[in-house]
Amino acid sequence: MPPKAHAADPSPRRPFSSGGHPYQAVVGIPLSGVDVRLGVRIQDKAVAAIEFLISPLQPHSPTNAVAADVVRQLKAYFEDPQQRFSLPILPQGTAFQRRVWTALRAIPVGETVTYGELAREVGGGARAVGGACRRNPCPIVVPCHRVVSVKGLGGFMGETAGAELVLKARLLTHEAGASQKHALP
């Protein structure tokens, strides 16, 4: 079942988009069982958003140097999730959301933390952490998929079931496999 499409929204925080926004690049996600693309939006020479797309937009080449770097680093991540992102990001959110997004970038590849653990780290509640994850404008680069519930995957992109959770599970599986490959004997 494909992820549900959301109406066009001027906010860069709505992860699934049905189009209507110009993207400086569109990249396919090479994960088994996932038919989604990533729309890259650049503003002021920084990444403003990376959006999951289910629209018929086909992958297209970057239109500027920053978008080209985003595409290169995303492709490197899908080849090897140990890839470290070093992209200029334009985090538009509240002070609390920015604290959560900064903490997300510190979660190692192949590891997860619970919403409650992250809440204790950043000084807030688990639901507020979930809300900040849902509004994350740059998923994958800011790895909100690494935050889980104490009882399972939790949510992803505002959903607690369906294709969104399949995508979260695929991302975690992708990273777990790479972590085991890079582990010392």
How confident is the model over 163-168, as a mean pLDDT? 91
Q: pLDDT-based confidence at 21, cuts 50/70/90? A: low
How confident is the model over 156-175, as a mean pLDDT? 92
Report the percentage of the chain scoring pLDDT > 90: 71
Q: pLDDT-based confidence at 50, cuts 50/70/90? A: very high
Amino acid at 14: R
Answer for the pair 45, 139: CB distance below 8 angstroms, yes or no.
no
Q: pLDDT-based confidence at 5, cuts 50/70/90? A: very low
Catalytic residues: 144
pLDDT given for residue 11 in this prediction: 38
Q: What angle do CA 98, 103, 109 make, to 5 degrees?
A: 130
At 41, list the tokens. 């939006």
How confident is the model over 37-47, as a mean pLDDT? 95
pTM of the model: 0.84
Domains and CATH numbers, the chain: 16-79 (no CATH), 95-182 (1.10.10.10)
Q: Which residues contact 70 (CB under 8 A, 6 or more apart)?
A: 25, 40, 42, 47, 50, 62, 87, 141
Highest mean pLDDT among 6-15, 46-55, 60-69: 60-69
Taking all residues of the chain, what is their mean pLDDT, rounded to a whole number?
86
